Amino acid sequence: MKRGVLRGLIIGAIVIGLLSISVTVFSQQVSSDRHPNLAAAQQFIQSAIDKVTAAQKANNYDMKGHAARAKDLLSQAYNEVWLAAQAANGQ
């Protein structure tokens, strides 16, 4: 019984994390017209997030929190790329 509850809580936390990553990703997308290299970097980061999510699903979300942490760090990298574009824009 405890194991089922714990698994439900973990899956719920992952879903919430994925939703927050999605919101961040779509609200801070670099313009590919102004900064094609930074926009490409963001696309690679998003692909990495998608691959980690696929790995989580393939392993029944039993990765001891490491995959979730990796996605958090990737989300931070995505944001830093956006900030780099803003700095290049003089903002």
Please tell me the predicted confidence (pLDDT) of residue 9.
73
Per the structure, how many domains does the chain have? 1
Task: Give the N- to C-terminal CA distance of the chain in Å, as an integer.
Answer: 53
Phi, psi dihedral angles at 17 (to 5 degrees): -60, -40
What range defines the domain where residue 18 resides? 2-88
For each successive 10 residues of the chain (91 residues), what is the average pLDDT? Answer: 71 69 67 94 97 96 94 96 94 76
C-beta contacts of 55-58 below 8 A and 24+ residues apart: 56/14
